[in-house]
A and B are shown apart, each in its own frame.
Chain A
Amino acid sequence: MFSKNNKVSGRQLGRMIFVETSGSTAFLSLSFIGKYGSDGLFIILWLYIFALIFSMGMLRLAKNHKNCEQGKFGKIIKTVLMIVLLAKYVCMVGIVLYGIADVAKLVLIPEVSTLFILILTFVCVIYCIDGGIESRGRACELLFFVVLIPIVIICVMLIPKIQPHYIVPEFEMNLKNAVLDFLALAWFFVPAESLFLIRDCYDNNNETRTNIYAGITLSFLVNFAIFAGALGVYGGKTVSGMDRPVLRLMQISGLPGGFLNRQDGIMSVFLIVSLFCSAWALTYHINELIKNIFLQKNTMKYAMKITVTAMVMVLFILYICSDKSKEKIISANVGGMDLEERKFVMSMIVSYSDDGTEFYYEIASSGNGGGGESAQGNDSSAGNVSSEFEVTKAKTAKEAEEKISYATGSKLDYSHMKVLLLDKELMEDNEKLKGLIEEISGNVKIAENVVVCGIELDYEFEPSEEYGKKTEQITKQQFENSEIYRFNRIYSEEDEKVTIPLIDEKVKIVGSGMVTKDVVYWDVG
């Protein structure tokens, strides 16, 4: 009656373009932050201009040369263009699906195999494309608002943390690499809907054109906001060492443990939804292209079969080429890991000595658990939950973790760790320190804004009931000129205080990091 097959309104088209491009580019273009720092801003700006010009060209072509494909020459050009687009979409959808699996494994389900996630995602994409363009138009209309709201929340949360001087361009770009990267990004940024524009499946009127440009502009603004946020918070130099700035960005909204803090799990939902929409759009167009290029009958059934086969092959190649192929082909973690099987680390001390490095863990306990070299602590935490201490000697943090896990029969969970205290001697040994920090920062469960303090431990130090009971607040002025190692690297102009656990005179603070909140958890007790 109203909805004709393969036809969506101009407004729906604009929303589809927004949802699609914000997914693929938010993931891919932001990886350029790590490469170019603040210069990446210009890459995004150029991409925006490029996408606009490309869309304008497509629209003009669709409007003024409607019959250009009827001639022999026109048909050849059209077929070549379609094959190029097909190649592009096949590559892109593989990478986007792999991106989904990557994010999911990194933040949400590390125990589930990549292949398993890929299969599930791909099955869902195939189910979705079966609904046709109309169905996608409607779903994107709904997702437009669902996706937009988290983005706005992210941006609002980041505003107070952004340091404008970080966004000043540095102009130290390697031109050759920049051009190559720009071309590579442009390849991704051009909306999959460009095929749609060429085929003229919509009403080519002013309103439609406006909606398409609005969709691309919105996508640009989203990219710009996330980019500026990441850059403003971390700074160009810091970000340049990060492999996944978007996910890192999601961890910094506050110290773990507070309401709406540590929301990287929730925010990754937004990223996955956007990427899924991109995969949906791309797979749909692959299906359409296969129908138009190869099938004379133009049937959905055969096109779907070929699409599925092609995509399975691409995913398989991607899977084989990646280092994830070392993991079990299909592994899942049914039921996850229950809370009682975990030991939540609240703070950690690393002390250097000649016969090995000592690792002290303060672990939240209900009073029933414990084991190994544990010493029962005080009721410093919420309710009846007390803290207990585990101490072990090991060469690396991972080895220490394994030893503690073996001793206690539970897995250590760092997701709520707030403070990392490092022995002064360890901080003076650059090589050891670097190795330790690299090892710790590789654990995605550890928040980006953990407080890191340099301490001087008495060699007779042993955690006792006093640990964590007495606290000290330090301010920025107290450690401004001291030897500071900041794991979180967050810089704030505000005069904020940090409360850390102390053990009388046995631990002397020689430096500390900063947090974005006034106090840490121990103040509760």
Chain B
Amino acid sequence: MKNHADALIFRMAICAEASQICLDATPEIADATFWCAIPSLRFGMEKCMVVSGDLNKDMQSFDSFIVGCDDIKTMKCDDEKGLKSCIYYMEVTINTTSFDGMIVEQEFESIEEAVTALMAGNAIRFIHGHNKAQKILSVGYPMMTIGESRNEKVLRGSREGFADSVKTNTALVRRRMKNNSLRVTEKILGEKSKTMVHVLYVDGITRKSVLDEAIRRLDNIDFDGICDSGIIEQLTEERTSSPFPQYQTTERPDKAVMELLSGRVVILVDNTPVALLLPTNYSSFFKTVDDYYNRYAIASFARIIRYIAAFLAISLPAIYLAVVNFNPEVLPTPLLLAFYEARQSVPFPALIEVLLMELSFELLREAGIRIPGPVGSTISIVGGLIIGQAAVTAKLVSPIIVIVVAVTALASFAVPNEELTGTFRLLKYFQILLTSVFGLFGIIISWLLIISHLSRMKSFNFPYLMPISSDDVNNDNDKMDFIIRFPLKQLKKKKIYEKQKGR
């Protein structure tokens, strides 16, 4: 296959061929031919190789696919009846001591399908005189067990988080929604990685247009390795130039279920515990799952705090700079004099001081992520105490700026979404630079630009600013679940993403 266009033509040809056979032949033959065609497509071969029943020939064919794969082992067996067989397996994925009691899970007619099954972590057995390859039930690849979600902690609610296996994750969702209206569409993405992706939705609730668009975008992915859901996110987002995240993510099965019930689509990707939720909007990043588990007053208060935190995370250093350097009259006199006193011994201008401290914090943050766990806490202490305290004592920075940077950092962590926090960090520097030239006017202009940018963004045709601009979508129903979360009894109206008719 020379290029992707050839691949596409070839695929269409095979499908057409398979369909033609389907029309002419019996369903069994047609089915077998079609399934035979797909693996050959995956491996870029023009003909599929059929299991002949001749062990040597089949092994030769099979070996041609796994040349150089030293991790794949072969075991030849002769039983008492003289039946010759050969088992291909990967050491880690199969328990060799249990070969005696092996269970045949599935049989394949083509070599390519057998190779695919082997790559998925199964053992494959060829038997002389039997024209099908057998897939032996195996333990599969080693993976992390189900544990607590690390990045989405809640005070109230389930402690369970997604694991790395897509099938485990789907099961975790299914366990919370024992209903056949939960549908799962399986896809294999990644030219080389062959990553399994599950698209979950609830039939009768999810809008068909959203689902179709999600499937279409997944089908359009043309990429070698899908190692994480983040890659799918970037390959399918609408505006690559925007700093704002266009998918929401979660590591919690209970949250995934709640979002499914509100009409959203969940994409689970193998080898990652991070699920994608779509469509999304700005306000959804400020909601946590325990907002719905706690009483409405507490949940509403927490949300208000988060919105204030978001504002502070973006604008606090810029406001400090604008007030101190351009408009000191807005400060109360005692506070101004305190600032004045604190700044006296600092050798750098306020702009450099702010940038210095903010960049130091970024360094600490990056170091904290990369450094191994036991050392991480030490680094926090070293960073917090030594850099902060020592810098003030050495009169490199004023104590005020340490407070500003600390509050900004705290505010950014109060927003319950890491992707959005990253965006805030970028916008913070954008505002600092604008403010350094234009003072408060720079903050105004940058906020107007941010609002304008957000107002033009869409996620799967839903305005990104929803529910602020949802009156033409669902008569403002979702405003009851916005900054203020109304009591659950009053949230009975259909959610914004829900199919509005015929549920």
Contact = CB atoms under 8 A, between A and B. Distances in A.
A335 interface: yes
A313 interface: no
A18 to B, nearest CB: 15
Residue with the greatest number of chain A CB neighbours at <10 A, chosen from B327, B349, B463: B327
Interface string B318-361: 00011011111110111011111101101001110000000000
Residue with the greatest number of chain B CB neighbours at <10 A, chosen from A138, A256, A524: A138
Given A128-B452, A338-B350, A383-B338, A258 B444 contact: no
Contacts of A131: 452, 455-456
A338 B343 contact: yes
B455 A337 contact: no
B473 interface: yes
Given A124-B448, A273-B448, A335-B436, A138 B455 contact: yes
Given A263-B330, A265-B440, A11 B452 contact: no
Given A3-B461, A124-B445, A138-B465, A108 B455 contact: no
A80 interface: no
B461 A256 contact: no
Contacts of A342: 328
Residue with the greatest number of chain A CB neighbours at <10 A, chosen from B332, B338, B349, B436: B332
B495 to A, nearest CB: 14
A223 to B, nearest CB: 22
Interface in A363-399: 364, 366, 368, 381-385
B295 to A, nearest CB: 26
Contacts of B350: 335-336, 338-339
B198 to A, nearest CB: 25
A334 B338 CA distance: 24
Interface string A397-429: 000000000000000010110000000000000
Nearest to B451: A139
A337 B322 CA distance: 10
A273 B326 contact: no
A366 B340 contact: yes
Contact of B445 (A121, A256, A258): A121
A104 interface: yes
B267 to A, nearest CB: 19
B324 A339 contact: yes
A265 B465 contact: no
B330 A344 contact: no
B355 to A, nearest CB: 11
B461 A265 contact: no
A128 B343 contact: no
Interface in A103-149: 104, 107-109, 112, 117, 120-121, 124, 127-128, 130-132, 134-139, 141-143
Chain A, interface size category, equals 35 or more
Given A128-B448, A256-B333, A108 B462 contact: no
Interface string A311-343: 000000000000000000000111111111010
A128 B446 CA distance: 12
Contacts of B294: none
Contact of A1 (B329, B339, B461): B461
A8 interface: yes
A2 interface: yes
Contacts of B340: 339-340, 344, 364, 366, 385
A9 interface: yes
B469 interface: yes
A21 interface: no
Contacts of A121: 445
B337 A12 contact: no
Residue with the greatest number of chain B CB neighbours at <10 A, chosen from A127, A130, A265: A265
A383 B325 CA distance: 21
A57 interface: no
B403 interface: no
Contact of A12 (B343, B437, B462, B471): B471
A3 B343 CA distance: 52
Contacts of B326: 108-109, 336-337
Contact of A269 (B444, B451, B473): B444
B341 A366 contact: yes
Contacts of A383: 334, 337-338, 341
A171 interface: no
B441 interface: yes
A271 to B, nearest CB: 10
Contacts of A334: 351, 436-437
B472 interface: yes
B468 interface: yes
B410 interface: no
A20 B336 CA distance: 36
Contact of B351 (A127, A138, A332, A335): A335
Residue with the greatest number of chain A CB neighbours at <10 A, chosen from B209, B337, B436, B458: B337
B381 interface: no
A264 B473 CA distance: 39
A143 B327 contact: no
A382 B351 contact: no
A313 to B, nearest CB: 23
Contacts of B329: 256, 262, 264-265, 415-416, 445, 447
A423 B330 CA distance: 30
A141 B349 CA distance: 39
Nearest to A103: B441
A339 B469 contact: no
B363 interface: no
Contacts of B440: 108-109, 265-266, 268-269
A364 B337 contact: yes
B344 A117 contact: no
B438 interface: yes
A276 interface: yes
A109 B436 CA distance: 11
A7 to B, nearest CB: 8
Given A117-B441, A127-B449, A366-B344, A339 B339 contact: yes
B439 interface: yes
A265 B344 contact: no
A189 interface: no
Contact of B471 (A9, A143, A272): A9
Residue with the greatest number of chain A CB neighbours at <10 A, chosen from B334, B338, B455, B471: B455
Nearest to B433: A334
Contact of B332 (A124, A257, A272, A336): A257
A259 interface: yes
Residue with the greatest number of chain B CB neighbours at <10 A, chosen from A135, A346, A524: A135
A276 B351 CA distance: 27
A405 to B, nearest CB: 16
Given A108-B439, A128-B452, A385 B461 contact: no
Nearest to A107: B327
Nearest to A7: B472
Contacts of A2: 461-463, 472-473
Contacts of A264: 329
B315 to A, nearest CB: 12
Interface in B144-190: none
Contacts of A112: 437-438, 441
A419 B9 CA distance: 85
B337 A332 contact: no
Given A338-B324, A339-B324, A339-B328, A136 B455 contact: yes
A1 B444 contact: no
B401 to A, nearest CB: 12
A340 B325 contact: no
A521 interface: yes
Nearest to B346: A340
7 contacts: A8-B472, A108-B438, A139-B451, A336-B439, A339-B350, A383-B337, A385-B337
Given A136-B455, A265-B329, 6 more contacts: A108-B440, A109-B440, A256-B329, A334-B351, A383-B334, A416-B328
Q: Considering the complex of A and B, which 10 residue pairs feature the smallest CB-CB distances, nearest first? A: A336-B325, A415-B329, A131-B456, A257-B333, A1-B461, A138-B469, A138-B455, A135-B456, A139-B455, A382-B334
